[in-house]
Amino acid sequence: MKKYYKIKENKIMCNHCKDVIQSLFVHDFKYCRCKSVYVDGGCLYLRRGYINDSSDYKELSVLEEANMNDYNIYGESDEFDCFIS
Ligand SMILES: [Zn+2]
């Protein structure tokens, strides 16, 4: 069965400069101080950018498991409008 998650906090820590950056809403595009990594997507999707590979950052996002029956796939529910699969 497919699992659905609500994104509570979309954030990472840069392993180079140790900045913690968080994307608060869609298109809230944040770079760390040294410009090695970025986050984007807010509570809608987890988008990451990096210079080398995913070892450039530590994942700190907070996800909450959600029940598919609790949400409308077309995003009409206010309560569960933020999922990744
Ligand atoms: Zn950095």
Residue ranges of domains in the chain = 4-64
Instruction: Report the DSSP pairing between strands 4-14 and 57-59.
Output: antiparallel
Which has the closest alpha carbon to 6: 39, 60, 46, 59? 46
Q: Hey, which residues does 23 pair with through a beta bridge? A: 10
Ion ligand 1 residues within 5 Å by Cβ:
14, 16-17, 32, 34, 36
pLDDT band at 15; cut points 50, 70, 90: very high
Question: Cβ(28)–Cβ(8) under 8 Å?
Answer: no
Question: Cβ(44)–Cβ(7) under 8 Å?
Answer: yes
User: Has residue 24 got a pLDDT over 60?
Assistant: yes
Rounded CA-CA distance 13/18 in Å is 6
**How remote is the CA of residue 56 from the centroid of ligand 1, in Å?**
8
Fill in the amino acid letter for 30.
Answer: K
The pLDDT value recorded for residue 76 is 37
Each residue's pLDDT tens digit, 33-63? 999 999 999 988 889 999 999 999 999 999 8
**How remote is the CA of residue 18 from the centroid of ligand 1, in Å?**
6
